Amino acid sequence: MSGAGPRTELLWSFCRMQLPAITFSAAACDRHLQRTFELFRAKTEGKASWDKYLDNLYPVDWFIASACLEGHSKAWEHLFAARAGRSDCLLVDALRARAARLYPRDEEKQDCAVDDFWGHLYAPETPGSLPVLARYDGNRPLVPWLIRVFQNWHISQLRKQSGIQPLSEEEVALPLPTESDTRWREVFAQATREWLTGLDEDELLLLGLRLRYRMSQREAAQLLDVHEGTISRRTDHLRDQCLEHLSKRLVEEGWTGDDLSEYVRTEMHSLLLDDLRLSVDHLARILARHGRKI
């Protein structure tokens, strides 16, 4: 095998021991490893080394994704049976839960959202584009990455339907960092929910437009018919208010970390979007009371 030599041979042997039912050849392993290394390398402007790539690889997740692209039925069975982290629910159930938040009270749309996504895992959405699994580089856990891609892809579709610039392909497949210490993550999550509970409708609406619909300041200002500077000031105020509340709560619990940037980067986005107060349905009701709609 090429690339990192003996390390890639060990990788193939390890994955075959972990998943003996998946008949994935050493040659196919080498081919996919070269392919995913190039994906990873492109994100570092060509500076990444084989050793750095392999040091951070999730081997079994990478093996399953690569085998799925090869059309191995046993690999797809493993993927369908994968469980989604903290809730321990099946991946497909986690996707349905996300679809329910994105398309409330529309069960047909929810079902189509999940079914279409399964198809896009293996087949490209448009000619010349990559299928979802072919964008996975193996340097992050597969299941959380798939959930994030699913969510961002549908946010992009909602933006497109509303006449807003959809997310780029790179934004749809944003990486997920590894999880932080369990206790502090839970404290951070509780503090975030407390802060969100204290927001008024105008603040919730602005947060929803910026996060769920990924609107720019200019797009939000146009929708709400206010000056862009007003949106900028309100956004800054929300950010400062949030960080002040979170810092106070974590310090009260004994936090001695340097800052909250890691938790904000890894946890904040999903915590906010999972809250029903920032659901599409609730945001639509707030907009309706303002005499507007997306």
Q: Which amino acid is at 205?
A: L
pLDDT tens for 263-282 read 777 678 778 887 888 888 88
Q: Sort residue 19 into left (φ over 0), alpha (ψ -120 to 50) or beta.
A: beta
pLDDT band at 182 (very low <50, low <70, confident <90, very high): low
**Nearest one of 278, 271, 273 to 151, comparing CA atoms:** 273
Q: Which residues contact 157 (CB under 8 A, 6 or more apart)?
A: 166
Q: Above 90 in pLDDT, residue 230?
A: yes
Cβ pair 190, 154 in contact under 8 A = no
203-216 confidence digits (pLDDT tens) = 999 999 988 888 88
257 against 124, higher pLDDT: 124
Mean pLDDT of the chain, nearest integer: 82
Q: Look at residue 177 in the predicted model and tell me its pLDDT.
A: 41
> pLDDT higher for 226 or 119?
226
Q: Is residue 1 pLDDT above 60, yes or no? A: no
Q: Binning pLDDT at 50, 70 and 90, where does residue 180 land? A: very low
What local confidence, expressed as pLDDT, does residue 76 receive?
Answer: 92
Q: Show the CA angle centred on residue 156, arms to residues 131 and 280, nearest 5°.
A: 130
Between 97 and 257, where is the model more confident? 97
φ, ψ for residue 61, nearest 5 deg? -60, -45
Q: pTM of whole model > 0.85?
A: no
pLDDT at 196: 92
> What per-residue confidence (pLDDT) applies to 269?
79
Where do the domains of the chain lie? 6-77, 82-172, 182-289
Which residue did the predictor score with more confidence, 49 or 67? Answer: 67
